[in-house]
Amino acid sequence: MYIRKTVRRYKDKTYVNYLLVESLLTDKGPRQRVVCSLGDLSPRPPEQWLALARKLQDALTGQRSLPGFADEDPELRPLVQALPVAGLPIGDAVVDAAGPGELISVHVDRVSVEQPRPAGHLHVGREYWKRLGLDDILKSLGFSPSLVNLTCAMTLNRLIHPSAEYAMPDWIRSTAMSDILGVDFRKLVDDPLYRNLDRLHPRRAAIESALAEREKSLFNLGNTILLYDLTSTYFEGKAALNPKAKRGYSRDHRPDCKQVVVGLVIGREGFPLAHEIFEGNIQDRQSLAAMLDLLEKRVGIPEGATIVVDRGMSHPENIAELKRRKLHYLVAARQKERDVYLAEFESDDGFEAVIRQPSPRNPSQKKSTVRVKKHTGNDETLVLCISSERVEKDRAIRVKQEERFLRDSAKVQARIKNGRLKNDIKIGEAIGRLKERYPRISRYYALTFNTKTRELETAPNEAKRKVAESLDGSYLPRTDRHEISADEAWRIYMSLTRGETSRVPCRSGRFFINLSTGWSRIFFSAYWPTTCWWRSRRHCTAKRSTRPGQRCVTCWRLTRSRRLFCRPTRTGSCEFAGARLPSRTIGSCTRHLGCR
């Protein structure tokens, strides 16, 4: 709260009034609300107005004064009595019912605070840990009580403040972890944390299976709809001792770095079921069969379940594999398959708008308009979807790609004109690289080389360009389930976005690795906070809080850095890559990473 001065003129007279105002956060932004009028405060110096506002706020919220140390401000009592909300009495009359015989005097100026430590977010994370039954799961696998508490501390760190094992002991000591878990962490170092990951990793399958069963009993979840998606994360360094670190398609736009591919399966409600690490050069479509085998062993796949995947895995061999396993599928058709249904997309007949309710945590949220239409074929049901928000996005991407395509074509033409590119075979290779780099644009651009005039000709095909413009904002999910409506199929397919949200903790923070297989332990340790995170998200959504975890956990900052670093030792050798590093390199690396 604060005090605002208002001036009003009436009949050549000036009236000064002071208002007690509080700031509120609304759906439309911060707003100010007048609590009451305080009249003329001119006798009081302006530098004391803020203190007066705080005293009035304490009176409104019921904050009492210590007995014997009540504020004797003569203006405070009449102002409190004039407040619209009945304030509490002020002065020594505010005492407990215990009587004056049990009162003690406290020298307020001698009161000090030592070692303040946050505990609220830890308490909430600990409660979710208990509800998931992780203590019993780890004890059944042979973990001692001390290792269970250490694992809980590591999981809470991943959930609240993701950091490397190297920096985790300092964070644990800066919080009330010791008081909540009843364990002394004053002498904790990073080596026990790494060793604990080595103990957990061989039992990851049993832990994931037990977690999945626990979630089913807690939330009455089913596994009839399973969503599978992939992501990747890269390594800084050679990663010579990592057999799965290879160069491949980089989603982080770092083709120069080796990477691994992470596969994650979640249910329709967003709870993760299983994860696996694949080689960095594996194609998306090659991982589906292996992930289905793994999922069958850990949690089981009922016959007739629906597998939802993105267009990167919607190849004929994967569809045949799902049919062989007697599973249904819902996949996104690739870009070229939409051209066949251009007439269907251009016609408004049969399209219906999807009713999208705003989030209960944000009632003022504005959803984009989505129209869907069901097209039933012989073997499959197609869902034609057009999103108003995606139209602008696709158009912007296409225009940007076209500008880059024309700019690079002009560079090739300049090389030909300057005589740096003379061989016709080399010119053809350059044209091929342009088409490979811009496949979205090269579909409606004719790129030819005239050997007589030695010029590179770029001519757009207006008919094909018009087709591309008509398909902006459209996508085509397809399924073998004929009984579901277009609206339901669209909602199931859009549940894949929850998979992207669940991958955030697995890609969060900068992880320091000193073991040849440490990367796999790191991803497994990030799997549990994802489960706790969705547990709190489900709980807070049911309670209709304003934001996931806002009333429960005050610090959910999950950094978006997606890099894995080898941890150099003090002797100058990198334990992960096995290479000798000069001390100067270690110093610059330490400053860059912000470690100790």
pLDDT at 458: 86
Q: What is the mean predicted confidence (pLDDT) over 548-577?
A: 33
Q: What is the mean pLDDT of the chain?
A: 76
Q: In Å, how far are 45, 261, 273, 513, 589 from 264, measured between CA atoms?
A: 63, 10, 8, 22, 31
For residue 92, pLDDT over 70 is answered with: no
| Closest CA relative to residue 206, chosen from 261, 121, 141 | 141
Structural element, H or E, at residue 124: helix 120-131
Band (pLDDT 50/70/90 cuts) for residue 219 is confident
Cite the DSSP H helix spans in 268-315.
288-298
pLDDT tens digits along 501-517: 555 444 443 333 333 33
pLDDT at 537: 52
Cβ atoms < 10 Å from Cβ of 511: 24
Structural element, H or E, at residue 259: strand 259-267
| Local structure of 22: helix, strand or coil | strand
pLDDT at 471: 85
**Beta strands 474-475; 306-309: pairing state:** unpaired
pLDDT tens digits along 114-124: 888 899 999 99
Rounded to 10 degrees, the C-alpha dihedral 232/237/241/242 comes to: 0
Helices (H) and strands (E) in the chain, counts: 20, 17
Q: What is the mean predicted confidence (pLDDT) over 73-84?
A: 64
64 compared with 508, residue with greater pLDDT: 64
Distance between CA 342 and CA 344 in Å, rounded? 5
pLDDT at 257: 92
| Local structure of 418: helix, strand or coil | coil
| Local structure of 516: helix, strand or coil | coil
pLDDT at 55: 75
pLDDT at 546: 36
For residue 44, pLDDT over 70 is answered with: no
Q: What is the mean predicted confidence (pLDDT) over 203-222?
A: 83
Specify whether the CB–CB gap between 307 and 329 falls below 8 A.
Answer: yes
For residue 434, pLDDT over 80 is answered with: yes
Specify whether the CB–CB gap between 172 and 153 falls below 8 A.
Answer: yes
Two tokens, residue 137: 């799961």
Q: Which residue has the tokens 């980089």?
A: 250
Q: Which domains does the chain have, with CATH numbers?
A: 2-94 (no CATH), 118-220+512-555 (no CATH), 222-333+481-503 (3.30.420), 337-357+367-475 (no CATH)
Which of 137-151, 179-193, 210-224, 382-396 shows the lowest per-residue confidence on average (mean pLDDT)? 210-224
For residue 198, pLDDT over 60 is answered with: yes
Distance between CA 286 and CA 315 in Å, rounded? 10
* 20: β partners: 3, 36
Whole-model pTM: value is 0.63
Distance between CA 8 and CA 29 in Å, rounded? 28
For residue 174, pLDDT over 90 is answered with: yes
Specify whether the CB–CB gap between 325 and 304 falls below 8 A.
Answer: no
Give Cα 352 to chain centroid, integer Å: 31
pLDDT at 279: 93
Distance between CA 441 and CA 434 in Å, rounded? 10
| Local structure of 499: helix, strand or coil | helix
| Local structure of 233: helix, strand or coil | strand
pLDDT at 64: 61
pLDDT at 479: 92
Distance between CA 234 and CA 431 in Å, rounded? 31
Report the interhelical angle of 204-219 vs 518-542 (nearest 10°). Answer: 10
pLDDT at 26: 78
| Closest CA relative to residue 561, chosen from 501, 514, 507 | 507
| Closest CA relative to residue 471, chosen from 384, 349, 594, 356 | 384
Q: What is the mean predicted confidence (pLDDT) over 193-211?
A: 88
Q: Which residue has the tokens 């049911």?
A: 542
Q: What is the mean predicted confidence (pLDDT) over 83-101?
A: 47
pLDDT at 500: 59
Percent of the chain with pLDDT over 90: 22
User: What's at 465, amino acid-wise?
Assistant: R
For residue 491, pLDDT over 80 is answered with: yes
Band (pLDDT 50/70/90 cuts) for residue 172 is very high
Distance between CA 162 and CA 505 in Å, rounded? 8
pLDDT at 552: 31
513 compared with 214, residue with greater pLDDT: 214
For residue 106, pLDDT over 60 is answered with: yes
| Closest CA relative to residue 301, chosen from 282, 274, 320, 269 | 274
pLDDT at 499: 57
pLDDT at 570: 39
* 445: β partners: 460
556 compared with 466, residue with greater pLDDT: 466
Two tokens, residue 32: 């100010």
Q: What is the mean predicted confidence (pLDDT) over 168-191?
A: 93
pLDDT at 317: 92
pLDDT at 585: 33
Structural element, H or E, at residue 168: helix 168-173
pLDDT at 568: 38
Give Cα 372 to chain centroid, integer Å: 28
Report the interhelical angle of 191-200 vs 518-542 (nearest 10°). Answer: 80
pLDDT at 555: 28
Question: Which DSSP category does 146 fall into?
Answer: H
Two tokens, residue 505: 């903790």
79 compared with 10, residue with greater pLDDT: 10
Q: What is the mean predicted confidence (pLDDT) over 268-296?
A: 89
**Beta strands 259-267; 272-279: pairing state:** antiparallel
Band (pLDDT 50/70/90 cuts) for residue 177 is very high
For residue 8, pLDDT over 70 is answered with: yes
| Closest CA relative to residue 593, chosen from 489, 509, 506, 494 | 509
276 compared with 359, residue with greater pLDDT: 276
Band (pLDDT 50/70/90 cuts) for residue 372 is very high
| Closest CA relative to residue 46, chosen from 72, 9, 18 | 18
Question: Which DSSP category does 379 fall into?
Answer: S
Longest dimension (CA), the chain: 111
Q: What is the mean predicted confidence (pLDDT) over 459-464?
A: 86
Cβ atoms < 10 Å from Cβ of 35: 17
Specify whether the CB–CB gap between 244 and 201 falls below 8 A.
Answer: no
For residue 420, pLDDT over 60 is answered with: yes
User: What's at 150, amino acid-wise?
Assistant: L
For residue 590, pLDDT over 70 is answered with: no
For 577, what's the count of Cα atoms within 13 Å in the CB-facing half-sphere? Answer: 19
pLDDT tens digits along 136-146: 999 999 999 99
Distance between CA 373 and CA 383 in Å, rounded? 6
For residue 237, pLDDT over 60 is answered with: yes
For residue 399, pLDDT over 80 is answered with: yes
Distance between CA 282 and CA 246 in Å, rounded? 9
50 compared with 209, residue with greater pLDDT: 209
